[in-house]
Structure 1
Amino acid sequence: MATTNSAADQDTHFFGDVCKNFDYAAQFTKHDSGLLDQIKSCNSVYRFRFPIRRGNGFEVIDAWRVEHSQHQSPTKGGIRYSEMVNEDEVMALAALMTYKCAIVNVPFGGAKGGIKINPKNYTLQELENITRRYTVELIKKNFIGPSIDVPAPDYGSGEREMSWIADTYATMNPGQLDAMGAVTGKPIALHGIAGRKEATGRGVAIAARECVSVGEDMQKIGLLPGISGKKVIVQGLGNVGYHSAKFLAEFGAVIVGLCEFEGAIYNADGLDVDAVFQHRKATGSILGYAGAKQEFKNSLEGLEQPCDILVPAALENQITVANVKNIKAKIIVEGANGPTSPEAEAIFYSNGGLIIPDMYANAGGVTVSYFEWLKNLSHVAFGRINRRFEENSNLNLVNMVEGITGIALTPMQRSTIIKGASELELVNSGLEDTMIRSYHEIREIYKNNPKIDTLRSAAMVGAINKIAVSYQNLGVWP
């Protein structure tokens, strides 16, 4: 779909883009057209309005909750707090959640929510009132529950808002044993899980690392295999962008550029992500950071600087036909949802690039949300039952080996071998395994079907096939 300056068209392009990607990938499957239409369509779209008191008057808030597919229960998806949110966007994000969960083998259907506000314009009390009232509206229509629909954080929301949702749901469902499983992304103290906040960014970094580890693929696009030394530009210093940059740097990449809405900075020798983050926190802008060698007041110029990997981790439709030819990166890793238009993607591939699609790349959040949901249903933290048993078993083994060999280990060596896994270590291990296995599932589809020309189409084909099996198992289709 061609880009346009029409505001009305801009408000309705995103779901169309997702459907366009679906239709293109569907031609590589052999499923019934009716089944494909069922998979593609949004099952339930709930739009509602509610008033809140502001000062001496009232304000009416627009909100949505979309359940795209109930082929698996519950449905799952974040709640976006943004004055730019609209029904088309929420439908598109819900659809992406369906495909995302299928790609990483998480047994949820896709959903998404939106509240049309700018959180910065409201007091803490007003935000709490909005969040709790939104939750009540979902409860009244049976659009939330641990076995029905499980929200999570998204753009503009976080642990605080999820704790308000959890409390509201539990208050209105007294005695429900699994009430805390009605929402994920909660604080640890309110039955959240270690590693959830940074999960999406960590998943993006693992996806990038896994992609560049395949020598055959890197040779085709003119890069050496391995993440070490790869130059990376990240757009967005929010939760996803910050943690993507942080973990990529830990893996050995060099963060050469950072972009935010106020502008962009660049240094070919590398930027200190934490230092930039603290500078922005202190000054309100990444501009003026002493370690930057170049500054750009137009944030999109930052995307066009020399690098190996570009990570757009802000909002959708950032890379279009207008700027894609100026992108110098060989790989785009989509930390945000829908940052690359279909037309721009075609151009990028024709120029020898590779795009790791959002449906896979940013699935770390829902993966760890799945772990949190399991924790809430089991009512026990990961590692709590078996950690000390593992440590005692390892200690006995070390003592036996030392007795037989006569070789004494150092205290550091003993503690390293004996140590049992914490909840955070188990979560990170599960996330890493999920991202690695899922990437190679996508790559196998891409590699084994010459007609499939992008990783996005390969990921979508895999998702369609898995969802189709779910519908067939439900007895809906033969």
Structure 2
Amino acid sequence: MLKKNRIKSEKNSFFNCIERNFDKATKFLSIEKGLLEQIKACNAVYRMHFPVKLGKEIKVIEAYRVQHSHHKLPCKGGIRYSIKVNQDEVMTLAALMTYKCAIVDVPFGGAKGGIKIDPQTISTEAIEKITRRYTSELIKKNFIGPGIDVPAPDYGTGEREMSWIFDTFLSIRPEDVDALACVTGKPVSQGGVRGRKEATGLGVFYGIRELCKMKEDMLSVGLDIGLIGKKIIIQGLGNVGYYAASFFHNAGAIIVALAEREGAIYNKKGLNVSKVILHLKNTGSILNFPEAINIENTEKALELECDILIPAALENVINKKNAEKIKAKIIGEAANGPITPEADEILEKKGVIIIPDIYLNAGGVTVSYFEWLKNLSHVRHGRMEKRFSENMNSELLQIIETVCKKKISPEDKRTILRGPREIDLVRSGLEDTMISGFHKIRDIKISSKIKNMRTAAFVLAINKIVDSYEKLGIFP
């Protein structure tokens, strides 16, 4: 009986869900089985236990770093701090990173890290000790470095932890001139890139916006093209959910519901995201927001009437128990693995368009790539071309005024003359990446007569990884 339960658990594991989606995609490919097995497998799993003295006690910390694929180097992926961290989760997230990077043409292999702690219950001093010790363990085993493996923030981590990682790496490897590139998601003052914090949420916005421009796709779910007036529900108000909500609100969409752990709030006329965040900061909860009604069961918010549903928090929140009750016509997977394979099938039969996580939340790794390039080049993005662009624009403006015999207003002049700042270039690169990725997936979906975007995205990713292996000459 115990063995049967273990087998059932393995079949429903997070990693197994990714493998099932991978296997669906292989039916549309003519690739040798052994190579497919190599692409699926995690190349290196580093599980560690190390002691850290916290106060008067010595605690043994469990941690992981998984390198899923070495088809391109360095490997890339965030580090999460959570009491729920386990090997299966970290392996799955590393695999997702491999496919994600391939889809958006970011030249990294997938990786992921995790430390099994609850950062909410321990002191800042303790978190710093654990972070620095974890980094030193990675250095010992050659699991971190600008050309080897480049971590980044994830759930429970941010700029602070990344700066500790960089500082620790630099103290142990002071001779490495590219040490800044050993980790991304750093503060701007330590080589970080402007626009990184909102990158994943902005990427979600660009991806869904592009779908909403497709007349044929919108007609299939009975919606008009464009974002204006679209009713949106967002689950999770962390970094990704908050920025996604803000960008959609500013674009004219109507945020009808926001859901968090403690419950959800709803207003059919729309919520002002900035006011909700202010209320959250003041009270510690989104509940009891004056311009909305409370929904005690946060899962029920997913089942409300809307055009677009964006799960931006945890995995498996949409499953076979609630999939039939989902009323959204479009689901954008801002979180990793929010829909189980069983729910996927139910939603597909209902005609729901699902924009998959392996594409939609790739904004973070895309901008991390820009930061990595900045650190390797030792030049801020925009530094070399900003003044040149302004001078060229000034000359062009003078010609226009001379030919038209009309002066342009000072306000318009300032807009026209301004050269690109780093954040302008980062957002432009992110927008182009997300738009390009969307159309590559959509083209494969149409040309191969694939029913859903998820399978098409996996087909695209696998093809790109195979191309990399062939260029390396590893496989004939």
TM-score (normalised: structure 2): 0.97
2: CA distance, partners of 1:288 / 1:8: 41
Letter in 1 for 2:443: E
What is aligned with 1:253? 253
What is aligned with 1:474? 472
What is aligned with 1:457? 455
Give the gaps of 5 or more residues in structure 1: none
What is aligned with 1:121? 121
Letter in 2 for 1:131: T
Deviations 1:437-459 (A, max 9, x none): 10000000111122x22100000
Alignment of structure 1 residues 123-202 onto 2, 5 Å: 123-202=123-202
1: CA distance, partners of 2:374 / 2:107: 15
1: CA distance, partners of 2:289 / 2:33: 54
Q: Is the 8 A contact 1:93 1:112 kept in 2?
A: yes
What is aligned with 1:402? 401
Deviation of 1:164 after TM superposition, in Å, equals 0.4
1: CA distance, partners of 2:319 / 2:8: 18
Deviations 1:53-101 (A, max 9, x none): 1221111111000000000000000001100111000000000000000
2: CA distance, partners of 1:268 / 1:297: 17
Question: SS of the counterpart of 1:120?
Answer: coil
Please say which of residues 307-316 and 217-226 is displaced more in the overlay. 217-226
Deviations 1:174-210 (A, max 9, x none): 1211001000000000000000000000000111111
What is aligned with 2:305? 306
Deviations 1:374-405 (A, max 9, x none): 00000000111110111011111211222233
What is aligned with 2:359? 360
2: CA distance, partners of 1:244 / 1:98: 24
Letter in 2 for 1:76: K
1:100 is the counterpart of 2:100: yes
Please say which of residues 298-307 and 88-97 is displaced more in the overlay. 298-307
Letter in 2 for 1:433: D
Deviations 1:412-469 (A, max 9, x none): 121111110100000000000000010000000111122x221000000000000001
2: CA distance, partners of 1:402 / 1:274: 41
What is aligned with 2:37? 37
**Are residues 25 and 7 of structure 1, via their aligned partners in 2, closer, same or farther at CA, if it must alter by over 3 Å?**
closer
Question: SS of the counterpart of 2:185?
Answer: coil
2: CA distance, partners of 1:446 / 1:227: 23
**Are residues 6 and 289 of structure 1, via their aligned partners in 2, closer, same or farther at CA, if it must alter by over 3 Å?**
farther
Question: SS of the counterpart of 1:204?
Answer: helix
TM-score (normalised: structure 1): 0.97
2: CA distance, partners of 1:261 / 1:422: 38
What is aligned with 2:291? 291
1:393 is the counterpart of 2:392: yes
1: CA distance, partners of 2:318 / 2:468: 34
1: CA distance, partners of 2:289 / 2:166: 39
2: CA distance, partners of 1:290 / 1:9: 43
Deviation of 1:6 after TM superposition, in Å, equals 8.6
Question: SS of the counterpart of 1:237?
Answer: coil
Letter in 2 for 1:297: E
Deviations 1:133-185 (A, max 9, x none): 11000000000000000000000000110000011111110121100100000
Deviations 1:283-321 (A, max 9, x none): 1111111111x3122110111111100000001010000
2: CA distance, partners of 1:7 / 1:44: 23
1: CA distance, partners of 2:59 / 2:90: 22
Letter in 1 for 2:107: P
1: CA distance, partners of 2:12 / 2:69: 20
2: CA distance, partners of 1:259 / 1:6: 33
Please say which of residues 14-23 and 218-227 is displaced more in the overlay. 218-227
Deviation of 1:8 after TM superposition, in Å, equals 9.0
Q: Is the 8 A contact 1:12 1:88 kept in 2?
A: no
Name the Cα RMSD after superposition: 1.5
What is aligned with 2:335? 336
Alignment of structure 1 residues 7-86 onto 2, 5 Å: 9=9, 13-86=13-86
Question: SS of the counterpart of 1:95?
Answer: helix
Q: Is the 8 A contact 2:10 2:16 kept in 1?
A: no
Letter in 2 for 1:338: G
Q: Is the 8 A contact 1:312 1:339 kept in 2?
A: yes
